[in-house]
Amino acid sequence: MKEDAIILGIEGTAWNLSAALVDERKIISEYEKPYLPKEGGIHPRDAAQSHASNIKEVISKTIRKAEIDLDEIKGVAFSIGPGMGPCLRTVATASRALSLLLKVPLLGVNHCVAHIEFGRWLTGAKNPLVLYVSGANSQVIAYRDKKYRIYGETLDIGVGNAIDKFSRFFGLKHPGGPKVEELAKRGKEYVRLPYVVKGMDFSFSGLVTAATSKSKENSLEDLSFSFQENAFSMLTEVTERALSYARRDELLLVGGVGANLRLREMLETVCEEREVKFFVPDRRYVGDNGAMIAYTGLLMLKNGMATPIERSSVKPNFRPDEAEIPWF
């Protein structure tokens, strides 16, 4: 394989349909068409329909912007899971067709692993403990012996989904994360809410139920503030213990909720106290994007890990600890 091989990556596990071309050194081009629900949360069938309508434009604009010849593309990478079945299948179908058309290997990427590898690539973190916090996922992860191991995780919903559900109850439009972050800044009084850490795991659905049930007697600002304080403290507590247990001196924050400045502040405090280096990608790269899929696809290609079409069925429940990681 040539040093400067270019990979096309396509992400579309949930809300963001996004494609990118990367080589070993840089992101060459990217283009995205996020799905934004008109009301309510992400409906898997609607999101998949939106991806199906936009995927041609997203791929062709990504390639056109790069000003490269098609034969420079040496692989087609896509999110094979975890994610919403209908969304995954839409992207997988387009990716298989492209791989056949371009006569290049297909690369089925684990979406969580892609967040981590891309985060390491962008920030220079070497062997970090990872806090991965997105809509559907919340996990504390570190590499050991050929795999990413999960040290702690949510017992029910991801912290992003919890925030989105909470905000939806108050009529705020999806995604709720950035809106709740703003409201929380204006919170004045802490409202007592559940704090659920069990061993190394955490749970968020009781927090949503409790916070929404107190909507009559408390302001939305106070509830947003208290919700964030509890949810992020739970994540920070488990992360701190995992840093000690896994003996890491680096922490990497990835996933859409990683954009939140209050969460970053809590983690930074822990890192300062423990002399741990804190890494977080630029805000626009913490959430789902095509470049992370393209970059991880490149790692797979270099390690002979192409995905034969007959074994490219999507894996809606693909866990990061099920993926082989030979490149670490």
Residues that bind ligand AMP (CB under 6 A): 14, 134-135, 160-161, 163-164, 175-178, 181, 255-257, 259-260, 287-288
Cβ distance to ligand AMP smaller for residue 229 or 288: 288
257 binding partner (options Mg ion, ligand AMP, none; Cβ < 5 to 8 Å by kind): ligand AMP
128 binding partner (options ligand AMP, Mg ion, none; Cβ < 5 to 8 Å by kind): none
Nearest distance, CB of residue 260 and ligand AMP, angstroms: 3
Provide Rg for the chain, Cα atoms: 20
Q: Is 39 helix (H, G, I), strand (E, B) or coil?
A: coil
Q: Does 134 bind Mg ion (CB under 5 A)?
A: yes
Extended strands (E) in the chain: 6-11, 16-22, 27-34, 73-81, 106-110, 129-133, 138-144, 147-153, 197-198, 201-202, 250-254, 277-279
Cβ distance to Mg ion smaller for residue 225 or 285: 285
Nearest distance, CB of residue 89 and Mg ion, angstroms: 18
Dist. CA 245–CA 252, nearest whole Å: 16
Nearest distance, CB of residue 269 and ligand AMP, angstroms: 18
Q: Residue 198: CA atoms inside 13 Å, Cβ hemisphere, count?
A: 9
Would you state the structure tokens that stand for residue 292, as one six-digit string?
């992370």
Cβ distance to ligand AMP smaller for residue 74 or 115: 115
**What letter represents residue 112's amino acid?**
C
Per rule CB under 5 A, count of chain residues that contact Mg ion: 2
Burial class (CB in 10 A: 0-12, 13-18, 19+), 125: buried
Nearest distance, CB of residue 309 and ligand AMP, angstroms: 27
Q: Does 139 bind Mg ion (CB under 5 A)?
A: no
Cβ distance to ligand AMP smaller for residue 73 or 291: 291
- Region of residue 67 (phi > 0: left; psi between -120 and 50: alpha; otherwise: beta): left
Cβ distance to Mg ion smaller for residue 105 or 287: 287
Q: What residues are paired with 106 via a beta bridge? A: 76
Cβ distance to ligand AMP smaller for residue 107 or 235: 235
x/- track of binding to Mg ion for residues 218-237 (CB under 5 A): --------------------
Nearest distance, CB of residue 287 and ligand AMP, angstroms: 3
Residue from 314, 307, 251 nearest 125 by CA = 251
Q: In what order do the strands lie in the sheet with 129-133?
A: 147-153, 138-144, 129-133, 250-254, 277-279
Q: Does 288 bind Mg ion (CB under 5 A)?
A: yes
Give the Cβ contact number of residue 182 at 10 Å: 11
Cβ distance to Mg ion smaller for residue 227 or 285: 285
Nearest distance, CB of residue 73 and Mg ion, angstroms: 24
Nearest distance, CB of residue 165 and ligand AMP, angstroms: 9
Task: List residues near Mg ion by CB under 5 A.
Answer: 134, 288
